[in-house]
Amino acid sequence: MAQYFSAWMRKGSVPLFLALELVCILLIVSFNENQQAIASYTLGNFQGKINKLSTSIGNQWTLQERLDSISWEQARLLEFCLSANGETHGADSLRRDSFSVIPARVINNSINRRNNYITIDKGRLDGIEQDMGVISARGPVGVVRAVSDHYALVMSLLHQQSRISARLKNSGYFGSLRRGYSRNPKKMYLADIPRHAPLSVGDTVLTSGYSDLFPEGMTIGTVDTFWVPSASDFYEIELTLFPDIARLHHVYVLDKKHTEEKELLEQQWQHE
């Protein structure tokens, strides 16, 4: 018994002191009107801040749900526009190479490395596959390179190995869009445009539609400057991108229909 009492005296003094302090505070508040008013004001103010914080957190969740809903609706509208853009007058009212659209959120993004990637919150279970094109509301941003069940890794346009087929809107000449040497995430280069092609600052650059990644005619950017290197027959063209990859939040993954048929045909005749 003496051991328990000794242990209580060594370790129980602080809890006992705090308990007595609490009793004293309750007695003071209970029998003094001024202290009651101060305590009520303080507790009310504290409760108000807690309620405000709780409401803010709830609004953030609600806002995220609304953004996801808007993103899904935009994806359906974009899918309709991509299909309607290819209307024909034949029996098939929609283009056979129309795209389906899968909305996704960006959960990781790099822009200042040599090889940059974007991670999105949709994966194999959502219909995402390797080599699908990825766009924002402003234009192309990359290509899916790896997929897990719930996530996908996108090779950004800001990757040194990124290549996208693009054309000049005014002249129709096409080339290859690449990052080049600039570290500015808004700058890209268009290569393989012959020097006899008509070209001027401000020309719009579009997707060519020659690959299965992106539909034809999607805006990419505008020409800033251009030159012809010595002993070369092709322009070096610097352009400013329409999509701002440094500020991506929501993107859309494009699933082109009937690609297997086209790829099989091209593989059968590529060695002829």
Say if residue 234's pLDDT is above 90: yes
How do the domains of the chain map onto residue ranges? 1-31, 35-86, 95-270
Tell me how far apart the alpha carbons of residues 165 and 208 are, in angstroms, rounded to a whole number. Answer: 6
Provide φ and ψ at 178, rounded to 5°. -140, 170
**153 touches 104 (CB < 8 A):** no
State the pLDDT confidence band at 240, using cuts at 50, 70 and 90.
Answer: very high
Q: What is the pLDDT of residue 50?
A: 63
CATH of segment(s) 95-270: 2.40.10.340
Residues 200-220: what's their mean pLDDT? 90
Residue 179 burial (C-beta neighbours within 10 Å; 0-12, 13-18, 19+): buried
Q: What is the pLDDT of residues 40-96, one digit of tens each?
A: 546 555 555 665 565 555 555 455 555 555 555 565 555 555 555 543 332 232 344
Tell me how far apart the alpha carbons of residues 61 and 77 are, in angstroms, rounded to a whole number. Answer: 24
Tell me how far apart the alpha carbons of residues 236 and 234 are, in angstroms, rounded to a whole number. Answer: 7
Residues 109-125: what's their mean pLDDT? 92
**166 touches 177 (CB < 8 A):** yes
Q: What is the pLDDT of residue 171?
A: 92
Q: What share of the chain is helix, strand, coil (3-state, %, to 5)?
A: 35, 30, 35
CA dihedral 25, 26, 27, 30 (to 10 degrees): 120
Q: What is the pLDDT of residue 95?
A: 43
Q: What is the pLDDT of residue 99?
A: 78
Q: What is the pLDDT of residues 164-191, one digit of tens each?
A: 999 999 999 999 999 877 789 999 999 9
Q: If we measure between CA atoms, which residue out of 228, 137, 238, 136 comes closest to residue 184? A: 238
For residue 86, CA distances in Å to 103, 221, 236 come to 21, 22, 32
Count of C-beta atoms within a 10 Å radius of residue 145: 17
Q: What is the pLDDT of residue 212?
A: 80
Residue 151: DSSP 8-state: -
**180: helix, coil or strand?**
coil
CA dihedral 200, 203, 190, 175 (to 10 degrees): -100
**156 touches 141 (CB < 8 A):** yes
Q: What is the pLDDT of residue 197?
A: 93
**197 touches 173 (CB < 8 A):** yes
DSSP lists the bridge partners of residue 74 as none
Task: Please report which helix (H) or strand (E) contains residue 237, including its range.
Answer: strand 236-241
Say if strands 187-191 and 236-241 run parallel, antiparallel, or are unpaired: antiparallel
- Per-residue burial over 5-32, b if 16 or more Cβ lie within 10 Å, else e, is eeeeeeeeeeeeeeeeeeeeeeeebeee
* Per-residue tokens: 97: 């190479």
Q: What is the pLDDT of residue 209?
A: 85
